Structure 1
């Protein structure tokens, strides 16, 4: 009898959930995550130990396993995996916020007033620098001019990057300092905007921006650190726990290493080295840097450029622009040059990510990948990427599959560009533009991003655009070319699991599965049950990276 009772007790103990080593229980949440197959899962509690997920499940199940873990009451709020922006520019975000920020200005006069006020507040600044202007929003029908900028600041050089980073606006002092005049030739891959007499009018497109950039004093170490601090704080506040930084130099690399060593990174950085020149040679001498500082810094990709941007008509098109019949945009490299750069990066063991906006640029990129794979056949498995893949010929979209390319796309570009995109390229070519479903249906991975500070770093803007293809006023009703919109689960996947996959990190990031890093956010409403119109206005309440809180909203 005693032996039978003892065996029964042992059997019951074996069935009872074991108390597990854990240091954090996030309880009473409306939790969502994808599983490794991309299927949406729901849970009430999240159990974490040493920064990694032990389990998700019901309150009853995980509370019994939590032991002495610290308990966070989620008060029924929605919990999501931390969001990953597959393509942003971290220091540029910080500089944009710390310098003249023209993003969102509605008119030329408003922008000039901002420049004038900033200059007055910074009399010590030798140059007035800024970014974010967009002549399309101002409805100018043309680029702004140096003479107009002179009315705001004439005593110092002013240099303002366009919202897409592919053009710059200079005042007369900056143009004079750079030595640019009527006799100056357009550089390869660039264009100086001119008046009827051939004189520079103040805007420099793509490769021509280097003429002014060469005279701008480089940022000091203090300015770089301040920019990184500003960017990290904003990223945390909007729920970004990771970002693919699309184009860093050696100084940026060294700053990231320093911050990782000092445990000051509050988001995971997947950095792409800009180009295959001297900085690449220095950074890559010991091969890719993977998972540095507890997976806070990885440098295993190279960013290349094939063309410019649509808004400045620098995107390289197969046929002329519909609204500028003498212009096909700008290709930055000859096909053989692009193939060589891809081959150099692949040969050193790096993933390649190539910026391509126009259909001509995208075709050149596809051709160059195919050519590079002939000499580097192992490179095809490197999860190479086309950054933007914004306007692709319908004949070329299927080529992404055999080339095993990831389409790294930014949903907010569609809703920002819809006011001018069809004017630029016409009704037929628009069918291959911002064509998310055409890629998804053929099995191509779509990694979601924003290209911040070109767009807002707020990933809920991207989720909203992906799902609705409407602007924040709900226009156009039903969405712009709605056949290409994403489901809520597809959109979440683009900014979590597939963004992680694009970084070779789907086994450690992107979902809240056991063994992965506990990167998660709490938000103020249920994006899967509430009207889609609310998504862009989502408020992030808390952001956690590796089981540590890095942001809390102020009440």
Structure 2
């Protein structure tokens, strides 16, 4: 009888084991930051069909589920996949495949890199980007005299780091028929002693770029896939692509169809009249990878190239206030149309005049409308009285802009205006959330630099000792939320990503150190050991 009882019990146990629900993966022995509302930690989670299905102690999950794969994290720290809330995805790919001008210390350094690249590649046209004259001993704009001698017949376009100015050689200027008398609304032609230097600012660049040879589809595909690889390397699982034209969107969509592009993209369609017409008629586009629900319009240029639109003249150039690159009439009319749809409007505004104008337009057209989640991209210099207007407008900011610009920003705008610049804590207090990004390739892709700049407000040499305007530093929790759940919220995606919670995509990363407790000076050197998208390892 006893033997029979043992057999019956054993049969019952085996039956129960067989009936355990099947999951794809269980991750155990981890130090997990869920970034949920309570900012809870966990040690294990289960994944099925690309989503988190349970979060609990490892022994509970292993007793509850049968898993195809068990991943032992060996005590490593896990975060939700990072979201870059403002970047330029194809631009990153183009930079990875061309001359890297970031970190150049002089114009001679720029020339050496271009010569070395062209000697190897022998291309009929050369485009590169990344120089910043503010990092050079001579901080004046370069001119194209040497470029013209070195490359008399090859068009050369060397973009400033922010993309708002380009140095063209004469062969390139000739493509756009640019002469000493050329002019364009929203653009500037930098001259020296009355003659063109080759530096064109903001919309003036389009005279050349509109005539620049178009990259082949194969080249653009290569760039997009290179950008994806780089993003996965740094733990980015979603990127907000700011200002994308129809041709690029079509290529992206084809790559999703063939499963070559896997990274999740939240696309801001360029806010041209044609694209606004098209998407307002078509409606929101939403797949697991591609989400198109917003338009991007630029109100002004960049501070480094003195294109940011200010309410008073530049402190170091009294003759200029900056450049309005889009008329306020166009912006307001577009805003009215978009306000009556399910789409966001996300407007680039750097200077205090641009932010003031955009906030007033937003306030006017959004009156009585709920949960529109419109954004101001950069919100870089804000007048004291305008901070309160961010009470229903999401500030989308890039902390490394503060630590890149801090050496010369006061020269540009003076000490008083600087108090309202890069004011991330004030903006957070106004809205209650911040979306954090990099603006790559204007800045580096590395999101740990974003985290470090937001918290420490210092460069990698720990300058300045007390932090740049440290009163506007974020806490580590605020910075992490800005790179995950708040960035997801800014995309209307908080129900599906941005935290490790049941029902959300299993997008997560495993790091070699805990950025929430590590010495802040070590955070920029954090390595992503593994990146998972929908439960599948992609790096």
**TM-score category (smaller protein):** over 0.9
- Aligned counterpart for 1:504 among listed residues 492, 498, 506: 492
Preserved contact between residue 95 and residue 227 of structure 1 (Cα < 8 Å): yes
Residues 264-304 of structure 1: per-residue CA shift (max 9 Å, x gap)? 223110001101322343344321112x1xx2110010000
Moved more, 205-214 or 39-48: 39-48
Matching residue of 1:298: 291
Aligned-partner Cα distance in 1 for 2:432–2:111? 44
5+ long unaligned stretches in structure 1: 1-8
CA distance in 1 between partners of 2:453 and 2:147 (Å): 33
The residue aligned with 1:336 is: 329
After TM superposition, the structure 1 = structure 2 runs for residues 439-454 of structure 1, keeping only pairs within 5 Å, are: 439-454=427-442
SS in 2 for 1:414: helix
Distance between the aligned counterparts of 1:470 and 1:72, measured in 2? 37
TM superposition shift of 1:343 = 1.8
Query: Are 2:379 and 1:383 equivalent residues in the alignment?
Result: no
Distance in 2 (CA, whole Å) between partners of 1:260 and 1:383 is 27
Shift of 1:155: 2.7
Q: Is the 8 A contact 2:394 2:431 kept in 1?
A: no
CA distance in 1, matches of 2:376, 2:430: 16
State which of 176, 186, 196 in structure 2 corresponds to 1:189: 186
Output one character per residue of 1:50-76: Cα deviation in whole Å (capped at 9) or x when no partner. Answer: 110122232222222231331112122
Match of 2:316 in 1: 323
State whether structure 2 residue 522 is matched by structure 1 residue 534. Answer: yes
1:237 aligned partner: 233
Q: Distance in 2 between matches of 1:431 and 1:445?
A: 20
Whether 1:34 and 2:35 are equivalent positions in the alignment is yes
8 Å contact kept, 1:465–1:471: yes
Q: 1:392 aligns with which of 370, 382, 385?
A: 382
Displacement of 1:344 in angstroms is 2.5
After TM superposition, give the deviation of residue 45 of structure 1 in Å: 1.3
Contact 1:407 1:444 in 2 (8 A): no
Match of 1:209 in 2: 205
How many residue pairs align between the two structures? 526
User: Following the alignment from structure 2 to structure 1, what is the Cα–Cα distance between the partners of residues 242 and 42?
Assistant: 34
Alpha-carbon separation, structure 2, partners of 1:348 and 1:169: 40
**SS state of the match for residue 333, structure 1?**
coil
Q: How far apart, in 1, do the equivalents of 2:411 and 2:432 lie? A: 28
Asked if the contact 1:276/1:341 (under 8 Å) is kept, the reply is no
What is the aligned partner in structure 1 of residue 283 from structure 2?
Answer: 287
Instruction: Determine the C-alpha separation between the residues in 1 that align with 2:232 and 2:360.
Output: 39
Q: Which residue matches 1:167?
A: 165
Q: CA deviation at 1:108?
A: 1.5
Q: Is the 8 A contact 1:127 1:157 kept in 2?
A: yes
CA distance, structure 2, for counterparts of residue 266 and residue 321 of structure 1: 44
Secondary structure in 1 matching 2:40: strand
Give the Cα–Cα distance (whole angstroms) in 1 for the partners of residues 118 and 534 of structure 2: 41
Give the secondary structure class of the aligned counterpart of 2:419: helix
Counterpart in the other structure of 2:471: 483
SS at match of 2:293: strand
SS at match of 1:473: coil
2:140 to 134, 139, 142: 142
CA RMSD, aligned part only? 1.8
Partner in structure 1 of residue 5 of structure 2: none
TM-score (norm 1): 0.92
1:365 match: 358
TM-score (norm 2): 0.94
CA deviation after TM superposition for structure 1 residue 516, in Å: 0.5
Q: Determine the structure 2 residue equivalent to 1:414.
A: 402
C-alpha offsets along residues 25-62 of structure 1, whole Å, 9 cap, x if unaligned? 11121211211x2x322121121111101222322222
Between 484-493 and 268-277, the greater mean CA deviation after superposition: 268-277
Q: How far apart in 2 are the matches of 1:136 and 1:57? A: 51
C-alpha deviation, 1:494, in angstroms: 0.2
Pick from 256, 270, 285 the counterpart of residue 274 of structure 1: 270
Determine the structure 1 residue equivalent to 2:6: none
Higher alpha-carbon deviation: 20-29 or 509-518: 20-29
Correspondent of 2:177 among 176, 179, 183: 179
- Does residue 1:220 correspond to 2:213, yes or no? no
- Residue 80 to residue 151, structure 1, CA distance change in 2 (3 Å): farther
Following TM superposition, by how much is the alpha carbon of 1:361 offset from its aligned partner in structure 2, in angstroms? Answer: 0.2
Alpha-carbon offset, residue 348 of structure 1: 4.0
Equivalent runs, 1:85-164 vs 2, <5 Å: 85-123=84-122, 125-164=123-162
CA gap of 1:152–1:525, structure 2 versus 1, over 3 A, is farther
Secondary structure of 2:477's counterpart equals helix
Q: Counterpart of 1:427 in 2: which secondary structure?
A: helix
Unmatched runs of 5 consecutive residues or more in structure 2: 1-8
1:340 is displaced (CA, Å) by: 0.6
